[in-house]
Homo-oligomer: A and B are copies of this chain.
Amino acid sequence: MKYGIAIFPSKKIQDEANSYRKRYDPHYPLIPPHITLKEAFEADDSTIDELVPELKRVANEMEPFNIRINKVSSFVPVTNTIYLKVEPEENLDKLYEKLHSGKFPQNKNFNFVPHITIGQKLLDDEYSDIFGRMKMRSFKFEEKVDRFQLLYQLENGSWTVYESFVFGKELL
């Protein structure tokens, strides 16, 4: 089974992101707007049973921190993905590192660029048009992060939450 780890931002940010995702992101129906902390990795039940206490340990080592969004950005020329850029935040990097060390799969494919995707798999012309217009808009959010979620993927490509991990609140 495929698992992944993500942060869901507040309803406010999710609603804003969805207003774009609805039109520009084919993953819109598969998962709510999110910040990916760990890309999809394959694991069986016994591996997950072993990782859950590790996830609790990691959650308990963290304290709530703030994330800030100031602008829209894109991964062009690598991919035509448009996203809300999450400004550099030491705690987010720390959390990412914890989830890619020790017992966790070391599935780092790229440098960690925290973001909330709002458009992807766009044709080049579409991309330029849409990104050009989005660049003109203001995106300003700041909010507290105090948890992350372990999800698994269904056959249709959608993701279901298996368990949430709240900073400093897990029973070990």
Mask for A152-172, Cβ within 8 A of B = 1, else 0?
101110101111101001110
A18 and B156 in contact, given A11-B1, A170-B171 (Cβ under 8 angstroms): yes
Task: Summarize A's interface: helix, strand, loop or mixed.
Answer: mixed
Is B32 a contact partner of A158 (Cβ separation < 8 A)? Answer: yes
B residues in contact with A161, CB < 8 Å: 8, 149, 161, 164
Is B11 a contact partner of A154 (Cβ separation < 8 A)? Answer: yes
Q: How many residues of A contact B (CB 8 A)?
A: 26
Of the candidates B28, B158, B163, the one whose C-beta lies within 8 Å of that of A164 is B163
B residues in contact with A160, CB < 8 Å: 8, 11, 14, 32
Q: What's the nearest-Cβ distance from chain B to residue A58, in Å?
A: 15
Question: Which chain B residue lies CB-closest to A170?
Answer: B171
What is the interface of chain A, defined by CB distance below 8 A to chain B? 1, 8, 11, 14-15, 18, 22, 28-29, 32, 147, 149, 152, 154-156, 158, 160-164, 166, 169-171
Residue contacts A-B, CB under 8 angstroms, 12 given: A1-B11, A8-B161, A11-B154, A11-B155, A18-B154, A18-B155, A18-B156, A18-B158, A28-B29, A32-B160, A149-B161, A163-B166
